[in-house]
Structure 1
Amino acid sequence: MFPEYRPRRLRKNETIRGLIRETSLELSNLIYPLFVVPGEKIKEPVSAMPGVERFSVDMLVEEVKEVMDLGLRSVLLFGIPEKKDRKGTQAWVKTGIVQRAIEALKKKCPDIYVITDVCLCEYTSHGHCGLIDEKKKDVSNDPSLELLQKTALSHARAGADMVAPSDMMDGRVAAIREALDDSGFEDIPIMSYAVKYASSFYGPFREAAESTPQFGDRRTYQMDPANKREALREATLDMEEGADILMVKPAMPYLDVIHLLRQEFTLPIAAYQVSGEYAMIKAAGANGWIDTDRVMMESLLSIKRAGADIIITYFAKDVAQKI
């Protein structure tokens, strides 16, 4: 005998499936990450990330106009400077690449919501996210905070709508919040990379951002992939320091962590579907092993279903074209 309830009744066609769908993906949930480089008329493909390009400021404006026409409204900017040094000086100068990009976007695309990555790894000659203690050959935490403050403040002055510190230095959210508030930018939110793992999924990004460490790795400041309880401690600290949004990075290998944060916090939760996640789906699709579009949508739905309110994804433009 069959039970009285037959679940297949509610799967019969797309109309009924849509009526009872528990999780939906909207363009308003997505942030489109973009790489900006010096020069003009540059639209340079990233070989490890098919479909992703690096843009000069003028071409970045054209790309943002295009994605706004598709319905996207939020971008996350990463800058690659003309020159790098040990301190990452180009991260906070008024004429820096990200600062120029913000000003151009706000002039040409005033309705786009501009979020900026606040870190030093793209700007330092050694590729690490802070100042180096030469004796220990490791990133020095507290001296790096002042540089992160200066970087966030320079982005706010250029017109950024939100800053997103990704360095994983202890205390950086409080330091940035203090700097912003003291300079009259108390309305600028902080989306903290609160739970950022020392992941192997970042490889393609390091090509795009030219940020591969020249020595060692980032395991002394990014989280151990084996740890979940530590994620709660990191997220709690960032919330107490003034973070407005808590991010988990990467996304799909850490769906359990996204879900854990969703259960524990009332703040919005963001997740970053990183370059390696994107590249694997693209590569498998190019080989005909998977249906790229369907896996793209399924992967993003899994992140949303786990509890993310916001998803940063290189698929944002593809999704906008699709839906």
Structure 2
Amino acid sequence: MSETRPVVDGASAEPEAIKAIPLRRPGRWIAAIVVLILVALFVYGAATNAAYGWDTYGKYLFDQRISAAAWVTVKLTVLAMAIAIALGVLLAVMRLSPNPVLRSAAWVYLWFFRGTPVYVQLVFWGLFPSLYKTIDLGIPFGPQFVHFDIQSLSAAFLFAMIGLGLNEAAYMAEIVRAGINSVGEGQTEASTALGMSWSQTIRRTVLPQAMRVIIPPTGNELISMLKTTSLVTAVPLSTELYGVARDISGTNFQPVPLLMVAMTWYLAITSILMVGQFYLERYYSKGASRTLTTKQLEALAKAQGLGAPKGGGGPV
């Protein structure tokens, strides 16, 4: 408690200011010093270790073959994730559908693709041309509307994209379903009261509000997809980042610096994706917090007939 000065001439003096002394935490400083020493020792040891092949690392870091392979990795990631998101939304809606056939079909899809390793699935897609030479869609013993010659397709990239997309769709379906279930039942009831059908309610009311829950794990899945592209050597596809780095190391017999080159590119692309994820999360989190900006507080004060508030925004 603060002390007050004695009353002088009928008036009480102001209380003395409290001099706060911060609590000393020596454990934190000791832990920080230990971590810094360990990091410095590791960096020094790696910099002076000739086995890392830093000259080779610098030579191939911006090599044209590596940068072209990084672009292939980005394209493969984006296209596979586009398939996964579109199919995942469809599967999530099917799982929540009142139709038992649609629910069962979606459950079987998730059961299969979540229950088998992605590497095994990619190996299967690599063997797909040996199973099917052509694909014809049409009426049995009648006209064929669509004809695909599997042998003439650029199979490696196409099947790697399909394999990654179909596998990821099973996980995206659960993410979307969790986001849909996070929306209150009152929203669905209000849409039904307005005469919307079940599909219109999902499309116009539920999904836009569920994006706040869907976006963060989707960003994580996108980053995971980028790293999973290193498994497409099972298709086989060797024009992506890890495949090219592995091929180059097979000719110069220096796998360590080429692996570090691949990891550097993966880290750079992942960092860019994390920045994009941050801004997407901030955009879709509007309205989740009661913290108002200065302009919003000024507008609120004006509406209430008060003067402009001093200082910045804050929670209300």
Task: Report the TM-score when normalising by structure 1.
Answer: 0.23
The structure that is strand-richer by fraction is 1
The structure that is helix-richer by fraction is 2
The structure showing larger relative contact order (alpha-carbon pairs under 8 Å, at least 6 residues apart) is 2
Larger Rg: 2
